[in-house]
A and B are shown apart, each in its own frame.
Chain A
Amino acid sequence: MASARPPPDPVAVLRGHRAAVMDVSFHPSRSLLFSGASDGELRVWDTVRNRTIFSTWAHIGAAGVYSVATNAALGNRVISQGRDGSCKCWEIEEAGLSRKPLFTIRTNSYHFCKVSLTKTPKSVQTDGGDSTEVVNIMALPGEDPSQVELWDLTAVKRVMSLPQSSNSNLAGQTSNQRGMCMAIQAFYTSETQVLNLLSGYEDGSMLWWDFRRPEAPVSSVKFHSEAVLSVAIDNICNGGISGGADNKIFMFSLDQQKSICTVRKEIELERPGIAGAAIRPDNKIAASAGWDHRLRVYNYRKGNALALLKYHSGSSNAVTFSDDCRQMASCSEDTTVALWELYPPKDRI
């Protein structure tokens, strides 16, 4: 450790946003990066030339674009979520994005939870091939802040909301105790390919929902002492990482047979606040974006810290990995997006 290398600097810094960058997302196949800023601007970057290739005012509103999401299942589209109470889906064209969104979902939610596209386990992706069979579901925070709504993106309609609003008063009370939903992650289980969902709440608890049994969560755990701010699931959907407003990061594993969520590793930090977390598709490393401006990189398997990246001069909002595992992008209040190349994987020829 004594001769440890100094932490690396970003390979590129994408400047151009005029406000805090809230979220970044890589295009699943092309070398494009989408970023949304709090002034409502949605930018598309070329990650080879490190240039902006397109920019649009996606969500004009008080807090602008809140979240950007892409997915292999979604194909050549990008979802942007704004604090104006809407989610928009954009077609990616040659010269950028479509002038008008393909469709707009009125969510009427104005709080802090980012949308989540459904994560498909690797095995399913490679096996199935035709993603159309799988219903493309997006999870997004509901109008009632304690609820999560699931939307079918192909049909553009709401499928259900969790917990179901038809629940008894008791359930409503408990959900009220948990507070607002702060983070969601939807995924298909690797074996059964059933839509599952993890949602984190204001009081620090996390619920695990099964699409088939929407009336009650499969499991409920409370790792964090304060609000859960980010949840990420690994590529085989057997575990994940969560960060919250307290000074802890948890790595957990999901036992899908027994429906038990157990803590695999608890990491304590010097400073609280993890706004974003991500796991690289090859499940080797995980990264977190902290309020303390820092990005932390962990060995996902062992849970030991690998790097502490100090570049941003403002609170970091999100971190994400590209699908080819080569790049990592982080965005921050300081209006920059940083591209990193960490522990690059070997090319699989």
Chain B
Amino acid sequence: MGRLLLFEVAPNWLAQFPKSVRSQIYDPFFLEGPSIGVLEELIPILNKKGSDKDPVHDKICSSVERLLVLCYLKKEGIRQMVIEFDLVEKQKGVAVKKDDKKSVSRVAQLLASIPDKIRPQASSKLSSFSFFKEATVQLIAGAEEKSMQLPSVCDTIEKDSPQNYAIFFVGETFSRIIRRGSTDIVVSEMVPRIYDLVKSLLLSYSNASLPSVMESTPKFWFWLYLVETMRDQYSIERLAEGILRQLASRAVTDTEAYWILWLLFNRSYNHTGTIRAMFVDKFILWKVFPVSCLRWILQYSIFEVAPTMEGHVKWQKPPHFVDTLQHLVTIWSKREFVQSSSVEQQAYLTAAVGLCLEKMSKQELETAKDVLSLILQGVSCRLESPIDLVRKMASAIALTFSKAVDPKNPLYLDDNPSDVVDWEFEVLTQKKVIITTSSRKQFINKPKTPLQEKSRENLGDKEAQKSILIQEISDKGVEEDEKDHDSDSSSDSSLEPYDLSDDDSDLNKTFTQLADIVAALRKPDDPDGVERALDAVEKLVRASPDELHHNSSDIVRALVHVRCADVAAEGEEESSEEKRHKALVSLLVTCPFESLDVVTKLLYSSSVDISQRILIIDVMTEAALELSETKIITKEQQRKGNLITSTSQPWFRPGDRGPVGAGPWRKVSGPGTSMLQNWSHQYERELPSRPGQRKLGKTRKWSVANSKDLQQEWSKNRFPMYAAAFMLPAMQGFDKKRHGVDLLNRDFVVLGKLIYMLGVCMKCIAMHPEASALAPALLDMIRSRDVSYHPEAYVRRSVLFAASCILVALHPSYVASALIEGNQDISTGLEWIRIYSLHVAESDPDTECASMAMNCLQLHSEIALETSRALESADRMKAQSRTLPSKLDNIIIPFANMN
């Protein structure tokens, strides 16, 4: 009958019925019928595939859609269905068979598939968003209504009994909706309802009585059973996750959240292992929730007790507690975990471990032997990390641990101790601040304020003040004396004392000879002398006396070997470290070659330790920056200024004199001279056409002013001449394992710093010819697999930094000429950078690595674009001159796949 109506009547006649007839005769047939049956009738029709143009099919479909809206959305047919499942149980043998669960889930499947099956032009009410929303509301309403009718003692309900079909149906439908990716819709409908229920309950009952109250109130039954009836593990997980996130955004109290979780998951949590595993394993080890969610998860799944306001009520720990903690700590303490998981994940797990530790007492920690040692191991391997946040995590755990062991004697590894540990670590909140290379760049480009100027100002001020003071004082003295002049005896009172405070800062003998400084630095038994030497050394070096060149290597060696920590007074280690640092920088700047010779030798010598190696590298970085005067032209300028040709002029080019309007000199290589190219250069240039002669063609602008500017800026950069001395020795033998030197594994921090330093050096010679000479070497180094795929994110970050520095430093025209000459080093290196950054951006667990890689890719595409422009112009040149080597024809452009 239904089919007949649909297939025959709908297409042909329905349009002709008046509206009233339709609503009275045609529609009620479907509306009055059992909604489950109707659903089973209607949906398959939509499924049938007619040709798109078929008007009959079209009409049938539109009428079915109309009916669906009418039945299930307007008339709350879905709610009806929920109730109907139960009716079925009472009046057995009705047309539709629901005695087996399969049919229930089939109906659920049909219902959830409606939005998929409708045609695109169907009513928006059937679109997945609004339909699922409406369906969820109705399902919940129906189920709640239904559960009121269930037998009073809920435990009597058997799982498979038809009484349960209604809830089973709801669960099935939910899981299908969730499978279709609409978790949010379900959750956003569910949460407010549960929340209100739980809240009202919490007002009137205490924690202890809540479980029994919930189990005895029919209102709650539906919620108690819902998750249990859902069979689809994935959708349960999504549901739980959705609920947690929703709760977190709602600022729910801990108690409320606990009871909501309890209400939904308790039955299955106690019975089903998978649910337990979901909470304990998946939600703690694999997912990252906000910290508040983590607290609820722990509270519910691990502590298994409702949070209480009244502090330390003796709380019986569940049997799993220690096991779970041990499990967590085992993973947390692994070095691989620190290396390979993202920062958020690490912070999350750290917070989990920390929150668990807070609940432990000393005895418990002692009984669980492994936990103790594992925590120590985890803390120590984190403390070694060069990443600040990771160290912070370690100190947070250490603090919590020490508090658990001895509350009176907390252990602060941080500089600024605070009792409350912030488990969010600034990464588990919504806002994420990632320091990218761009910010580093800014730092590099920031011009230093000239120190001398400042101090001179100060000095001037001071003198002025002093002279004023003297005047005042002498005036005052005279006046007073005048007053007291008459009585000689009282005149003593005029002798008003000055400020008698004294310090011995000026007393210490200051060093005036470099040799004295070296001698003093080598006497570790005279800490005062060492300290005074440290005070004086920078000033003396900056004055760059004549003998500095002879003494510099001695001073450098002495400075690197001096033990500031032993020498300095308690609490002043940092300032003396800083002095040493500054002194070394000044040495490297004032006489680079001599000092570099020593420094680079020391870098890999077994007589220095890691901190000294790091010091050396830091110092070299800073010296490079200072030598370059940080006068790197900003990128925009570079790109604008020298798109094709305007580089600074090499010394061997002919002068620019000539008729006005003459073109610039261009290098040509004559036939057969390729061997001698390095020895003799030929140049040609365009001369302006004679008056009267007109030539059609391109006009090219050679911006003289611009190139002049660039030259001026560059001339301030003293670094390029020292760049090779800085970089090459440091790159030599970094991968060799020697006594006390193991950069690739143990001392990865040094390796990271070293690569960073090389990157900075590269940046400092940006756009200079030296850059193109040194880039291949650096590329070679970072390309080695041990470096570029180093397990520590810190090293990978520096590799990416160095790579982007290379990209910034290389002049496009050089890249182009390297291509023309067939220089494989550069082209393969650049291609490697691209592939590597792509790889990192896609699959690196460290978010900062990924963002740096993106940055790198962007730089790469920029340089690719400009190189291709340079190549174009070279092409053009070739067309004009016909003298370029024929190699140009078969160049493989590595950037071809970029566009």
A interface residues with partner B (beta carbon < 8 Å): 1, 4-9, 11, 270-271, 284-285, 292-294, 299, 301-302, 304-308, 310, 313, 341-346
Q: Among B482, B499, B502, point to the contact of A6 (Cβ < 8 A).
A: B499
Closest A residue, CB atoms, query B499: A4
Residues in A whose Cβ lies below 8 Å from that of B502: 270, 294, 308, 310
Q: Which residues of chain B (466-513) have a CB below 8 Å from chain A?
A: 466, 469-470, 473-474, 476-478, 481-482, 485, 491-492, 494-502, 504, 506-507
Residues in B whose Cβ lies below 8 Å from that of A341: 474
* Distance A343 CA – B506 CA, assembled complex (angstroms): 26
* Distance A5 CA – B496 CA, assembled complex (angstroms): 9
Q: Among B485, B497, B498, B499, point to the contact of A346 (Cβ < 8 A).
A: B485
> Contact at A306–B498, with CB atoms within 8 Å?
yes
Residues in A whose Cβ lies below 8 Å from that of B499: 4-7, 308
Closest A residue, CB atoms, query B505: A310
Q: How far is the CB of A198 from chain B (nearest CB, A)?
A: 25
Q: Which residues of chain B (500-549) have a CB below 8 Å from chain A?
A: 500-502, 504, 506-507
* Distance A4 CA – B491 CA, assembled complex (angstroms): 19
> Contact at B498–A284, with CB atoms within 8 Å?
no
Given A8-B498, A9-B466, check contact A346 B473 (CB 8 Å). no
Given A284-B491, A292-B507, A305-B500, check contact A344 B473 (CB 8 Å). no
Residues in B whose Cβ lies below 8 Å from that of A299: 492, 495, 497
Q: Among B474, B482, B497, B507, point to the contact of A305 (Cβ < 8 A).
A: B497
> Contact at A293–B495, with CB atoms within 8 Å?
no
> Contact at B494–A343, with CB atoms within 8 Å?
yes
Q: DSSP majority for the A interface?
A: loop
> Contact at B478–A5, with CB atoms within 8 Å?
no
> Contact at B492–A4, with CB atoms within 8 Å?
no
Residue in A5, A9, A270, A271 with the greatest tally of chain B CB atoms within 10 Å: A5
* Distance A322 CA – B502 CA, assembled complex (angstroms): 27
Given A8-B469, A305-B497, A341-B474, check contact A310 B482 (CB 8 Å). no
CB pairs A–B below 8 angstroms (26 shown)? A4-B497, A5-B498, A5-B499, A6-B498, A7-B500, A9-B469, A11-B470, A292-B507, A293-B506, A299-B495, A299-B497, A302-B492, A304-B497, A305-B497, A305-B500, A307-B500, A308-B499, A308-B500, A310-B506, A313-B506, A342-B477, A343-B481, A343-B494, A345-B481, A346-B478, A346-B485
Q: How far is the CB of A268 from chain B (nearest CB, A)?
A: 13
* Distance A4 CA – B501 CA, assembled complex (angstroms): 10
B interface residues with partner A (beta carbon < 8 Å): 466, 469-470, 473-474, 476-478, 481-482, 485, 491-492, 494-502, 504, 506-507
Residues in B whose Cβ lies below 8 Å from that of A342: 477
Residues in B whose Cβ lies below 8 Å from that of A11: 470, 474
Residues in B whose Cβ lies below 8 Å from that of A271: 504, 507
> Contact at B469–A344, with CB atoms within 8 Å?
no
Given A292-B507, A301-B492, A346-B485, check contact A4 B498 (CB 8 Å). yes
What 6 A-B pairs are tightest by C-beta distance, nearest first?
A4-B499, A307-B498, A7-B498, A306-B497, A346-B485, A299-B495
> Contact at B470–A8, with CB atoms within 8 Å?
yes
Closest B residue, CB atoms, query A285: B495
Given A292-B507, A293-B506, A310-B506, check contact A343 B485 (CB 8 Å). no
* Distance A11 CA – B497 CA, assembled complex (angstroms): 18
* Distance A285 CA – B494 CA, assembled complex (angstroms): 11
Closest B residue, CB atoms, query A307: B498
Residues in B whose Cβ lies below 8 Å from that of A308: 498-502
Residues in A whose Cβ lies below 8 Å from that of B501: 308
* Distance A4 CA – B473 CA, assembled complex (angstroms): 11
Closest A residue, CB atoms, query B486: A346
Q: How far is the CB of A115 from chain B (nearest CB, A)?
A: 30
Residues in A whose Cβ lies below 8 Å from that of B500: 4, 7, 305, 307-308
* Distance A8 CA – B494 CA, assembled complex (angstroms): 16
Residue in B469, B473, B482, B495 with the greatest tally of chain A CB atoms within 10 Å: B495
Residue in B469, B500, B501 with the greatest tally of chain A CB atoms within 10 Å: B500
Q: How far is the CB of A333 from chain B (nearest CB, A)?
A: 11
Q: How far is the CB of B563 from chain A (nearest CB, A)?
A: 29
Residues in B whose Cβ lies below 8 Å from that of A343: 477, 481, 494-495
* Distance A343 CA – B496 CA, assembled complex (angstroms): 9
Residue in B466, B476, B498, B500 with the greatest tally of chain A CB atoms within 10 Å: B498
* Distance A307 CA – B506 CA, assembled complex (angstroms): 17
* Distance A8 CA – B501 CA, assembled complex (angstroms): 13
> Contact at A344–B478, with CB atoms within 8 Å?
yes
Residues in A whose Cβ lies below 8 Å from that of B476: 5
> Contact at A9–B498, with CB atoms within 8 Å?
no
Residues in A whose Cβ lies below 8 Å from that of B482: 346
> Contact at B495–A344, with CB atoms within 8 Å?
no
Closest A residue, CB atoms, query B495: A299
Q: How far is the CB of B476 from chain A (nearest CB, A)?
A: 8
Q: 8 additional contacts, CB 8 Å, given A5-B496, A308-B502, A344-B478?
A: A4-B500, A5-B469, A6-B498, A8-B473, A8-B474, A301-B492, A343-B481, A343-B495
Residues in A whose Cβ lies below 8 Å from that of B481: 343-346
* Distance A1 CA – B499 CA, assembled complex (angstroms): 7
> Contact at A344–B474, with CB atoms within 8 Å?
yes
Residues in B whose Cβ lies below 8 Å from that of A306: 495-498
Residues in B whose Cβ lies below 8 Å from that of A9: 466, 469-470
Residues in B whose Cβ lies below 8 Å from that of A304: 497
Q: How far is the CB of A245 from chain B (nearest CB, A)?
A: 17
Residues in A whose Cβ lies below 8 Å from that of B506: 293, 310, 313
* Distance A293 CA – B504 CA, assembled complex (angstroms): 10
Q: How far is the CB of B440 from chain A (nearest CB, A)?
A: 44
Closest A residue, CB atoms, query B479: A346
Closest A residue, CB atoms, query B473: A8
* Distance A345 CA – B483 CA, assembled complex (angstroms): 11
Residues in A whose Cβ lies below 8 Å from that of B497: 1, 4, 299, 304-307
Residues in B whose Cβ lies below 8 Å from that of A4: 497-500
* Distance A302 CA – B495 CA, assembled complex (angstroms): 10
* Distance A324 CA – B784 CA, assembled complex (angstroms): 85
> Contact at B470–A344, with CB atoms within 8 Å?
no
* Distance A292 CA – B502 CA, assembled complex (angstroms): 11
Closest A residue, CB atoms, query B466: A9
* Distance A307 CA – B502 CA, assembled complex (angstroms): 10
Q: How far is the CB of B496 from chain A (nearest CB, A)?
A: 8
